[in-house]
Amino acid sequence: MNFNVIEYFSDCITNTQEVIIQNLGDINTNKVQSIVYALDIHYFNIANNNPQIIAIIMTEELFASVESVNTNIVLEKFPKIAFWRLHNYLVNNGYMKIDFTPKIDISAKIHPSVIIDENVQIGKNVQIDAGTIILSYSIIKENVHIHSGVVVGSDGMQVMKDENDQQVFIKHAGGVVIDENVNVLSGANISKAIDTSYTKVGKNSVISIHASVGHNVIVGKNCMLGGNVLVGGSTIIHDNVWIGPSATIKDSIVIHKNASIKLGSVVVKNVSASEEVSGNFAYKHTKRVRNFVKEQR
DSSP string, 62-89: HHTT-S---SEEEE-SSHHHHHHHHHHH
Cβ atoms of residues 62 and 77 within 8 Å: no
| Sheet strands (E) in 25-132 | 34-37, 53-58, 72-75, 103-104, 109-110, 115-116, 120-122, 127-128
Q: What is the pTM of this model?
A: 0.88
The superfamily CATH assigns to domain 103-292 is Hexapeptide repeat proteins (2.160.10.10)
- pLDDT of 1: 84
For residue 178, give every residue at least 6 positions away whose Cβ sits within 8 Å of its Cβ, in sequence order, or none.
138, 139, 140, 141, 144, 146, 152, 184, 190, 201
Q: Is the pLDDT of residue 145 over 70?
A: yes
| Pick among 3.40.50.720, 3.40.50.11890, 3.40.50.920, 3.40.1390.10: CATH of 3-92 | 3.40.1390.10
Per-residue pLDDT of 29-59, as tens digits, reads: 888 999 999 999 999 999 999 999 999 999 9
293 in helix, strand or coil? helix
pLDDT beyond 60 at 190: yes
pLDDT at 294 over 80: no
Q: What is the mean pLDDT of the chain?
A: 92
Residue 10 confidence (pLDDT): 83
Q: Which residues contact 4 (CB under 8 A, 6 or more apart)?
A: 18, 19, 20, 21
- DSSP class of residue 184 equals E
What residue segments make up the domains of the chain, in order of their start? 3-92, 103-292
Q: Which amino acid is at 5?
A: V
